[in-house]
C-alpha cells in the first residue's frame, strides 16, 4: 500500500513547489527571490549536484557522479516574468504619493492604466498602488506612474523593488492552478521535479538543469550563457515554456506540449523527432499519459536563441491561459483598435495541474530515452523510407 501511495506523495510535493514558485515575485534582472528558492532546493541536494553560476546569474546544475566529459542534456527554463521595477531616483519626478515604475516584459498598452498593482519591498511587504499613467514610448522599457494607496508607502519603497499586478492568492480549483506567474516559474518547478526524479536513479545520466535570467526582455540570459561558455559544447537543450493556449488547437488539460517551433523558427528537427518517437511509444504503453505536439507559433522561445549559437534545441511547454496576465487578449486588441481608450483586464495566469504532471513525465521519459540511446536523433531526412514508399505507390502518375 505504501508503494501505491508513493506517486501521489511525490506529486503533492511537486505541486507544493509549483505553488511556491509561481507565487514568488520576479522580474527580468530582479530574479533574486526565485534564486533564493532554488538555492534552498539545491542545499538539500548539495552532495549529489555540482552548481556553476555565471556573472549574469544563470545556473548550470549537473550531477556530481556524471561521467567526466559527458555531453549533457540540459533542461532549461527562465526565472523571470513580465513585471514592474521601481526606477532610480534620476527618473522623472513623481507627484506626491506616486512612484515611477518601468515594465520589463510584453504586455499590451490597454492593460496598464487603472490596473491595481502591488510593490514588494526588501522585507517582502506588499504595498498597493494603481497605475494612473503610461509612457509607452519610453526606452528601453515602458514607464508607468503608480499612485500609492497611501503616501506613507513611499518611505518603504526603494529603487529596484519589484511591482506586479495585484491578484488573488494562488489557488488550485477543479484541477486548474490560478497564480501570479506560470510563465516561466511553472516550468522551473517542472524542471526541478524531473531532475529530482532523475537524481534518484542509480545510473548517472548526463542530464542537467540550465536556469536563465532576463528572458522576457530578449533572451538576455540565454544569449549570455551561450556566448560566455556556461553551456558545454555539444550540449542538447530541452527548453521549457508556458505558451498561450488556443482552445481549438492547444487546449489546456490535454497534456503538455512538444513544441516544434515558434514565430521565428522551427526547432532542431532531429531532436524534436527523437523526443516525439519516445513519447509516442510511452503513450502506447501507458494509456493514462496525455501529451500534444504543436507548432505554437505565438511568441518566441529560448530554443530559437540556443539554436542560433549552434546548439541542438527544442521546446516542451505548458498550454497557458491569460498569457502574461492578459485576460481576453484578442477581444481587448480588437476593442483598442476601434477605441484607443479601451481598457483591458489583468488576471491570474492559469494552467492545468494535470498538464504540469504530464510535463514532468515527458521530461523523465525524454531524458531517459535520449541518454540511453533508445531514440537516436534523426535528421530531417529520417522519413526517407516513408517517402520512398509513397513515391513507389504514386509515381505511376508521372507516366501520364
Rounded Cα distance, 156 and 25, in Å: 17
Whether 303 contacts 314, CB under 8 Å: yes
pLDDT computed for residue 92 by the predictor: 62
Whether 189 contacts 325, CB under 8 Å: no
pLDDT computed for residue 379 by the predictor: 47
pLDDT computed for residue 392 by the predictor: 72
pLDDT computed for residue 380 by the predictor: 47
Mean pLDDT of each 10-residue bin along the chain, 400 residues long: 57 96 97 98 95 96 83 95 85 79 96 97 95 95 94 89 96 97 98 94 84 94 93 95 94 97 92 96 95 91 93 97 97 94 96 98 95 61 61 59
pLDDT of 216-232, one tens digit each?
Answer: 999 999 999 999 999 99
pLDDT computed for residue 208 by the predictor: 95
Indicate the pTM of the whole model.
Answer: 0.91
Helices (H), the chain: 2-22, 32-43, 185-199, 220-228, 269-285, 302-308, 329-338, 353-372, 384-394
Give the CA radius of gyration of the chain.
Answer: 22
Pick the CATH number of 2-80+177-336+344-382 from 2.60.120.280, 3.30.559.30, 3.40.50.300, 3.40.630.10: 3.40.630.10
pLDDT computed for residue 384 by the predictor: 65
Tell me if residue 374 falls in helix, strand or coil. coil
CATH C-level class of 83-165: mainly beta
pLDDT computed for residue 370 by the predictor: 92
pLDDT computed for residue 299 by the predictor: 85
Per-domain boundaries in the chain: 2-80+177-336+344-382, 83-165
pLDDT computed for residue 201 by the predictor: 77
Amino acid at each position: 500500500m505504501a508503494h501505491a501511495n508513493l506517486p501521489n506523495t511525490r506529486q503533492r510535493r511537486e505541486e507544493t513547489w509549483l505553488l511556491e514558485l509561481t507565487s514568488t515575485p520576479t522580474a527580468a534582472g530582479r530574479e533574486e527571490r526565485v534564486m533564493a528558492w532554488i538555492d534552498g532546493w539545491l542545499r538539500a541536494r548539495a552532495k549529489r549536484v555540482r552548481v556553476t553560476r555565471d556573472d549574469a546569474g544563470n545556473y548550470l546544475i549537473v550531477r556530481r557522479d556524471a561521467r567526466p566529459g559527458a555531453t549533457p542534456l540540459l533542461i532549461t527554463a527562465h526565472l523571470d516574468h513580465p513585471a514592474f521595477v521601481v526606477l532610480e531616483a534620476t527618473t522623472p519626478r513623481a507627484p506626491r504619493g506616486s512612484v515611477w515604475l518601468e515594465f520589463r516584459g510584453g504586455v499590451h498598452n490597454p492593460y496598464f492604466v487603472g490596473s491595481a498593482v502591488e510593490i514588494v519591498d526588501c522585507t517582502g511587504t506588499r504595498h498597493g498602488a494603481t497605475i494612473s499613467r503610461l509612457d509607452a514610448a519610453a526606452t528601453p522599457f515602458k514607464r508607468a506612474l503608480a499612485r500609492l494607496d497611501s503616501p506613507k508607502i513611499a518611505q518603504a519603497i526603494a529603487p529596484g523593488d519589484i511591482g506586479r499586478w495585484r491578484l488573488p492568492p494562488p489557488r488550485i480549483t477543479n484541477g486548474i492552478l490560478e497564480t501570479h506567474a506560470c510563465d516561466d516559474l511553472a516550468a522551473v518547478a517542472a524542471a526541478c521535479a524531473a531532475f529530482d526524479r532523475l537524481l534518484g536513479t542509480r545510473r548517472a545520466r548526463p542530464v542537467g538543469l540550465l536556469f536563465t535570467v532576463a528572458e522576457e526582455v530578449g533572451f538576455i540570459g540565454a544569449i549570455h550563457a551561450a556566448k560566455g561558455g556556461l553551456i558545454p559544447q555539444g550540449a542538447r537543450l530541452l527548453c521549457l515554456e508556458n505558451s498561450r493556449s488556443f482552445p481549438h488547437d492547444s487546449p489546456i488539460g490535454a497534456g503538455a506540449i512538444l513544441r516544434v517551433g515558434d514565430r521565428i523558427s522551427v526547432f532542431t528537427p532531429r531532436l524534436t523527432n527523437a523526443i516525439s518517437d519516445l513519447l509516442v511509444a510511452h503513450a502506447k504503453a501507458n494509456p493514462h499519459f496525455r501529451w500534444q505536439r504543436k507548432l505554437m507559433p505565438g511568441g518566441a522561445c529560448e530554443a530559437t536563441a540556443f539554436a542560433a549559437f549552434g546548439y541542438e534545441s527544442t521546446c516542451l511547454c505548458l498550454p497557458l491561459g491569460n498569457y502574461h496576465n492578459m485576460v481576453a487578449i484578442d477581444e481587448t486588441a480588437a476593442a483598442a483598435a476601434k477605441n484607443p481608450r479601451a481598457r483591458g483586464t489583468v488576471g491570474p495566469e492559469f494552467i492545468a495541474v494535470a498538464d504540469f504532471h504530464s510535463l514532468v513525465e515527458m521530461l523523465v521519459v525524454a531524458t531517459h530515452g535520449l541518454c540511453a540511446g533508445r531514440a537516436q536523433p534523426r535528421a530531417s531526412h529520417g522519413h526517407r523510407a516513408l517517402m520512398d514508399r509513397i513515391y513507389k505507390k504514386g509515381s505511376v502518375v508521372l507516366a501520364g
